[in-house]
Amino acid sequence: MAARDRLLPLVVACPLFLQNVDTSAIATALPAIAQSLQVQPLHLNLAITSYLLSLAVFLPLSGWCASRFGARRVFCAAIAFFALGSALCGLATSLPWLVAFRVLQGFGGAMMVPVGRLILLRSVPAAGMVAAMVWFTVPPTVGRMIGPLVGGAIVTWTSWRWIFLLNIPFGLVGILLAWRLISPEVDEELREPFDAPGFLLLALGLTGLLGALEMTGKGLVGAPAIGAAAAVGTVAMLLYVRRSARMAAPMVNLGVLRFRTYFTSIVGGSPVRIAIGATPFLLPLMFQLGFGLSPLDSGLLTVATALGSLATRGVMGHAIRRFGFRPLLIAATAVSGTVYMSYGLFTPATPHALMFCTMLLGGLVTSMAMVSLQTLGFSEIPKPLLSHATTLSTMTQQVTLTFGVVLGAALVNATAVMHGGSSAHLTAQDFPPAFFVVGLTTLLSLFFFARLAPEHGEDMR
């Protein structure tokens, strides 16, 4: 693999690195931000949900913008918007201003991720796609790993504002590298008309669904409001599906789902993504609230999943060549589901080394499944539809990861109530059922993966 082909995936994955560091560091710094802005910590949920809803609104635009203005230009502009939003967040003096600047950040984030993946798919030949996708997973994995440490260190030694301000130099470096490494040939300007009604329906649908999921269990709004948001989101999405089927150039062409490998990646891979959303949320809660570990000890344990994901780089290419996509997906998913269920067997007396090794294995096999899915899923998509495919993939990922967090919280809360307790006083015994359900959910993907043909992805081995 040429040096440029190895460096390009790292550069286009830089936005995922920034997003993961930003999100996990902010979660660590919420109490300090609340004290600085003189608001209640619970109200700072708006700083997180505003970014999420901004992503939902602007994600459908990413594919059209890339086709209309050129992927390289849109990618660099998106990083600039994200960095500008970060700088303004670091200067915010009140919660309303912080929320407004997080919306600007979300606009940049909505463009960065799907357009970056589009650039990778257009630039790397099929034979090098497995290696490229493996390298593509490295920056976000490192971001998840160091985010809590960065947030904790910054809040302890300086000011929470540096969490946002540090994105500025990273963003500038990302723009310079992207402009230099990304070939202008990826700028395929297709000049499709802008589907304004379709954009509004998708934005309303994603905002309603993600907003309802994010608000569930938070106590910020009542159940009727959450139900109304979910209903509005569902109706808007159904209207979009019906309308887009009759259009020649919809905002996001759902016709990409007719390709078997892409359908398997999007629909069949959703149970795996739900588990990926739930597990990082449940593990720290179990270690800190259930086992009584300190945040530092909990972080040192959960970093095992990120290290396992990084280890994928050393084995993925050989595994694909040796076994092929279908057997590898089936095996990795089966092991992932089993490992997730085994997390429920952890107790306060379980040796830390054993828990660390188990989570290391979980991170490795889950990452192998996701790299396989991300590579195979786009193998049949023709170039004119790549922008639609990457946009739909990112939208699906956002919804399923959010649903995973909500599912994990609901399961733990339900178990606590069954045990005569409450969500305010969780114990170690409240978590095993949640991990068991999450593991079983993962195994649902096997029904889709088993239907793949052995020859799918042969040109990428």
Tell me the residue range of the domain where 182 lies: 1-192
In this structure, the answer to whether residues 370 and 242 fall within a common structural domain is: no
Question: Confidence band (pLDDT; 50, 70, 90) for 155?
Answer: confident
pTM score: 0.79
DSSP string, 54-104: HHHHHHHHHHHHHHHH-HHHHHHHHHHHHHHHHHHHHH--SHHHHHHHHHH
Residue matched to tokens 């700088």: 87
Find the CATH number of the domain harbouring 75.
Answer: 1.20.1250.20
User: CA-CA distances (angstroms) from residue 110 to 135, 258, 295, 374, 429?
Assistant: 21, 25, 31, 18, 39
Q: Measured between alpha carbons, how far is 395 from 52 in angstroms, rounded to an integer?
A: 11
In this structure, the answer to whether residues 37 and 113 fall within a common structural domain is: yes
In this structure, the answer to whether residues 345 and 366 fall within a common structural domain is: yes
What pLDDT is attached to residue 333? 95
DSSP string, 327-345: HHHHHHHHHHHHHHHHHTT
In this structure, the answer to whether residues 397 and 447 fall within a common structural domain is: yes
Per-residue pLDDT averaged across 25-48, rounded? 71
Q: Of residues 1 and 261, which shows the higher confidence score?
A: 261
Residue 358 has pLDDT above 90, yes or no: yes
In this structure, the answer to whether residues 298 and 339 fall within a common structural domain is: yes
In this structure, the answer to whether residues 345 and 215 fall within a common structural domain is: no
Query: Of all residues in the chain, what percent carry a pLDDT higher than 70?
Result: 87
Name, in order, each residue with C-beta under 8 angstroms of 271's C-beta and a sequence gap of 6 or more. 441, 442, 443, 444, 445
In this structure, the answer to whether residues 209 and 267 fall within a common structural domain is: no
In this structure, the answer to whether residues 202 and 188 fall within a common structural domain is: no
Query: Of all residues in the chain, what percent carry a pLDDT higher than 90?
Result: 18
In this structure, the answer to whether residues 391 and 409 fall within a common structural domain is: yes
Tell the burial category of 331 from Cβ atoms under 10 Å away from its Cβ (0-12, 13-18, 19+): middle
Name, in order, each residue with C-beta under 8 angstroms of 75's C-beta and a sequence gap of 6 or more. 12, 66, 111, 112, 115, 116, 119, 178, 182
195-226 residue pLDDT tens: 888 889 988 888 888 778 777 765 667 788 88
In this structure, the answer to whether residues 427 and 311 fall within a common structural domain is: yes
Judge whether 13 and 138 are in contact, CB under 8 Å. Answer: yes
Q: How many CB atoms lie within 10 A of CB 354?
A: 10
In this structure, the answer to whether residues 37 and 60 fall within a common structural domain is: yes
Is the torsion defined by CA of 234, 240, 120, 451 positive or negative?
Answer: positive
In this structure, the answer to whether residues 313 and 370 fall within a common structural domain is: yes
Collapsing DSSP states into helix, strand and coil, what is residue 418?
helix
Domains contained in the chain, number: 3
Collapsing DSSP states into helix, strand and coil, what is residue 425?
strand
